[in-house]
Structure 1
């Protein structure tokens, strides 16, 4: 850890590379500061969910975790993994974009690009089937369901109303161009 002005910078070391994982991926190292203490107590928590109701993962940095608990955690993580691996998702994407436009469907309930053989399994789900072009797929934040609960989700997209509010404020102030706003949308 290095002091830069008044901000503590944690430079990734071996302990950060070996962070424990929850079902959502590698956990983030946090630090609790109490008055009068020079260094607070550090702990790992879920990187995707702020609310412990959504992901109960918690581990003190210096906690020794038993083999039995590690196995139980890995089993829990395995049960919550996505249906496909990263490479399988890539293969599905390539197959999907090779389909004619009229055979492209996106399941809104499952947040999944559907191949024709999967249509019947998703027949009762809400799906998009119009104009799923490569250009539209290049902007996935407009296709995927946005996580909008800032109290629960650590990583979320602005809701449409928030985007419109920002656009209205910026244009009302006379700005015509924006270099960068730190959000996917």
Structure 2
């Protein structure tokens, strides 16, 4: 993490776990984390809030000292900035859109490559100058086949494994008897676990995907 504001004789940075005190301020990526620099001789330094997702200030410039007094004007400006950088739809809206899209006839299912979004019939005219492609039922079951990979290694790198690699990983995990899997930046492995669970031919496996990708 680039912590130039807290950067004298710092030897390391520690994350301070919340103790039920005041809520952390939010950046565009959500609630921030509280950090503390550790100096020579384990000397504790000043605590500060920074983005919980991005480790480079170029990707998220949020920075605030824990004991800093923030004016109401700055809070309002920060909230406006956070709002401007949020995804175009909430998670609930995305789910509602997906259900509508899934109910469309096959020849009406279109995906905008430029905007990386499933197009509902009422939106096609607005995207008429963009590149769009048909969407198959198989692609809806594995949407990572449609999406461009995110490639910022410091904040949101994704590992889009080939089918062969994904099956090998899943078979290995199942063979080792794992019942819970945390998929970090590996959406195709997550998709494969969900699909295998639907088949009901294998021991069910619980999985959670951690991936900074609003799509």
**TM superposition score normalised by structure 2:** 0.63
1:50-129 matches, within 5 Å, as 50-129=55-134
Offset at 1:70?
Answer: 0.3
Is the 2:16–2:35 contact (alpha carbons within 8 Å) kept by the matching residues of 1? Answer: no
Offset at 1:9?
Answer: 7.9
Q: Structure 1 unaligned runs (5+)?
A: 1-7
Distance 2:89 2:135 in 1: 25
Q: Structure 2 unaligned runs (5+)?
A: 1-13, 175-180, 188-215
Deviation string 1:86-140 (CA, Å, 9 cap, x unpaired) is: 3322221111111112111122222211101111211222323131x2x533433
Aligned-residue RMSD, C-alpha = 3.1
**TM superposition score normalised by structure 1:** 0.72
Distance 2:33 2:15 in 1: 14
Deviation string 1:19-71 (CA, Å, 9 cap, x unpaired) is: 21112222223332222234343322223333212221111222221111101
Judging changes above 3 Å, is the alpha-carbon distance between structure 1 residues 44 and 141 closer, same or farther for their aligned structure 2 residues? farther
Distance 2:68 2:141 in 1: 43
User: How many residue pairs are counted as aligned between the two chains?
Assistant: 165
Is the 2:112–2:119 contact (alpha carbons within 8 Å) kept by the matching residues of 1? Answer: yes
Give the equivalent residue in structure 2 for 1:30. Answer: 35
Is the 2:15–2:34 contact (alpha carbons within 8 Å) kept by the matching residues of 1? Answer: no
**Could you say what secondary structure the match of 1:36 adopts?**
helix
Distance 1:115 1:144 in 2: 17
**Could you say what secondary structure the match of 2:42 adopts?**
coil
Deviation string 1:153-174 (CA, Å, 9 cap, x unpaired) is: 1x3212x5xx46x94xx89xxx
Offset at 1:177?
Answer: 2.5
**Could you say what secondary structure the match of 1:59 adopts?**
strand
Q: Is it true that 1:14 corresponds to 2:15 in the alignment?
A: no
Is the 2:15–2:33 contact (alpha carbons within 8 Å) kept by the matching residues of 1? Answer: no
Give the equivalent residue in structure 1 for 2:211. Answer: none
Is the 2:28–2:81 contact (alpha carbons within 8 Å) kept by the matching residues of 1? Answer: yes
